[in-house]
Amino acid sequence: MSDWINAIILGVVEGLTEFIPVSSTGHLLLTKMLLGLPDGFWDTFAVLIQLGAILAIVALYFGRLWQVLITLPTRAESRRFALSVLIAFIPGAIAGLLLHDIIKTVLFESPRLICWSLIIGGFVFFALDRWAPKPTESDAMNLPLVTSLVIGLFQCLALVPGVSRSGATILGSMLMRVEKRAAAEFSFFLAIPIMAGAFALDAWKNRHAISMDQAGIIALGFGVSFVVGFIVVRTLLDFVSKRGFAPFAWWRIVVGVGGLVFLTMTGR
């Protein structure tokens, strides 16, 4: 298959799965395996196109984020929101730095772990949709700082491929009595620094694996992930408000089981 088509497929997968609780990393790794793509460049490619998804969030929330930025010196609400995102960001950033090499060389090399993480996470979201505590917080930009810290600690679970960064964030939020729409929205805001940090770290570590000959393929994947991510984010909040997270639970279980069947049939 042409590298251009592979780039489009991976771009669609990244944009489609980054902001829903199904694990974009797990889906990208399983897709790469199904396409028969080698390690090396395509691992780096999967990291670089995440920036397109990040920019989709920035584009959609630019007005609100810019207002926070310019009013940081004058408005306590803006400083509080920025601090809440920073507090939620720190645990995952520290854990990611300390465990980066183990995650990349051990956990990412276990597709069965990814599949089981998807399946277990699916049942967790079924339970969450049914038995989550009654929400008391409905504003993603005005969460208590303790709530933000707990959400950040839950986000560390996403270092295991297949768990899902957005899924771990939403799980922590709803257990801390954050309403499901606000939980999804806070996961968007938190994605900006954590994904930007992961992108910068991986891009630096793999800088020698990238050449100008591959720039066009990377740009294509980047653009596709931006467009698809933009569409997903625009529609996700209303979907979650009406349908909850059960559809994503089914998604996770079906993909996880399908992945295990494929691995068994191919002897991997």
Provide, rounded to the nearest whole percent, the portion of the chain with pLDDT above 70: 95
What are φ and ψ of residue 155, in 5° steps? -60, -25
CB-based contacts of 126: which residues, under 8 Å, 6+ apart? Answer: 246, 249
Question: pLDDT-derived band of residue 104, with 50, 70 and 90 as boundaries?
Answer: low
From first CA to last CA, the distance across the chain in angstroms is 22
Residue ranges of the domains in the chain?
3-266
Residue 123 has what pLDDT? 96
Any idea which residue has 């042409």 for tokens? Answer: 2
Mean pLDDT of the 36-47 span: 82
Q: pLDDT per residue over 232-266, tens digit each?
A: 999 998 999 889 899 999 999 999 999 999 989 88
